[in-house]
Structure 1
């Protein structure tokens, strides 16, 4: 979708009685710093086939299904009926071999992506995910720059092998990171849930947090240690961090958004409450 082009997203919501993620962010007044938004239940985001997953934000930050314009083993599998906007529309991962499946940002590392790992970073990433019990490793929700390797530059938001949310910020220094943080909040396997991280690098103690659904946020100090001022090492990916980490076998993702601002816990609560009905979550 071309930058500045607003998608026709009302029909699916009207038919199902559900609002898609972009409509929710819009209704809550949270689109000012929205960089990208995808909702796979919207046919203008993904029509059920093809290699392009279109950004709903109007910024033109479209993704490849996989890493390229041609089909390959790194393409996650679409499930459902395009435009139905239910809990049955999602991409599913099948982590059986490298390269790991992902959705890769076509523009690679635009300025807002490059800024995620830098000094004074402020951002929020959130996604509706369904972690499957067959998974055995870390599940990457969003990765930039191969951040699982300290010699690269970027950030990674993932669910670790113990099912806790985790942040890693790489600064291009072998053996050390600008930031690592593990939440005390654990995901629930075989269930839909909204996972989120809100980071304000300059806010100090308790200025950043992890959150699952509308549970009480798990706060932490988001300050980076000697972050790099150089750009990210690799493109933004949803569901993977290139070949370091990825969503695992049977894991699903239905919608995701990234904003260049640190949302509040109340903002996350409102997003959850406006979208939970679609996923059968109370």
Structure 2
């Protein structure tokens, strides 16, 4: 006789980010997945933060393969799969991709389509801490690639490098709180030099904007290391007090319904988002 097994507890125990994405039906669009609570992504020690999407990306803690002062600090326990696993930043830390492939190089070129999503907390009020940048430099630099950050007005914003200081889009209805865990997502589609679509999403609040102002996009930063931590105000590190619980990227713009499905799935690990 085969014993009865209730599948619900097994479902609830699967809280790795890659599993949560799979349960939301979006695994085929997942390009990168970095999860501090998954031992296959971060074993609890060492300098390498592994992508578990299946696409083989790697990030280093800091800029060196050996421990240094720009390394974020791991919190929690290896394979904890809870809200207690995250990287914390003291104002001098950074994460850096070890190599850019064709997808990463295309992020700020015409034809790009992607959604960048993080579970993060601890935004300093009024700060402009960048969440993604494919090139170093201040937000008004033509060298900048694609970055996502919190404006001084506390809204989510995104910039694509251009010859006239960048093509900037700023959300207007969702506020990035200074504290508390948040699901932050920005979707982008660079259709032409006069047609750029940006979607903003914070904890269930969604907004889409279309920018038709002419801008020649910069491609000069394509091979520069993609980093988590080059500040939009010209600084070079993640602001102090920041905590990163998950970093994911999808290879297309996700719809509002798809982001809602992800949020429902992610709530099994981060109930407050």
Question: Shared fold by TM > 0.5?
Answer: yes
Task: Report the count of equivalent residues.
Answer: 260
In 1, the alpha carbon distance for the partners of 2:230 and 2:38 equals 22
1:162 pairs with 2:150: no
In 1, the alpha carbon distance for the partners of 2:253 and 2:208 equals 13
Where does residue 178 of structure 2 map in the other structure? 189
In 2, the alpha carbon distance for the partners of 1:20 and 1:237 equals 23
Where does residue 268 of structure 1 map in the other structure? 259
Question: TM-score, structure 1 length as denominator?
Answer: 0.83
- Offset, 1:207: 4.3
SS at 1:277's partner residue?
coil
Q: Is the 8 A contact 1:149 1:244 kept in 2?
A: no
- Offset, 1:239: 3.4
1:115 pairs with 2:111: no
Moved more, 260-269 or 183-192: 183-192
- Offset, 1:182: 1.1
Moved more, 65-74 or 30-39: 30-39
In 2, the alpha carbon distance for the partners of 1:206 and 1:150 equals 19
Q: Is the 8 A contact 1:122 1:260 kept in 2?
A: yes
Correspondence list, 1:210-225, <5 A: 210-215=200-205, 217-221=206-210, 225=215
Moved more, 35-44 or 233-242: 233-242
Q: Is the 8 A contact 1:128 1:194 kept in 2?
A: yes
Q: Is the 8 A contact 1:138 1:246 kept in 2?
A: no
Structure 1 residues 18, 32: closer, same or farther in 2, change over 3 A?
closer
In 2, the alpha carbon distance for the partners of 1:195 and 1:245 equals 21
Structure 1 residues 64, 14: closer, same or farther in 2, change over 3 A?
farther
Structure 2 unpaired stretches of 5+: 1-8
Cα deviation code 1:101-124 (max 9, x no counterpart):
1110011x2211111111121110
Where does residue 79 of structure 1 map in the other structure? 75
Structure 1 residues 143, 78: closer, same or farther in 2, change over 3 A?
same
1:103 pairs with 2:106: no
In 1, the alpha carbon distance for the partners of 2:86 and 2:11 equals 18
Question: TM-score, structure 2 length as denominator?
Answer: 0.86
RMSD over equivalenced CA pairs, Å: 2.5
Structure 1 unpaired stretches of 5+: 1-12
1:209 pairs with 2:205: no
SS at 1:116's partner residue?
coil
SS at 1:249's partner residue?
coil
Structure with larger Rg: 2
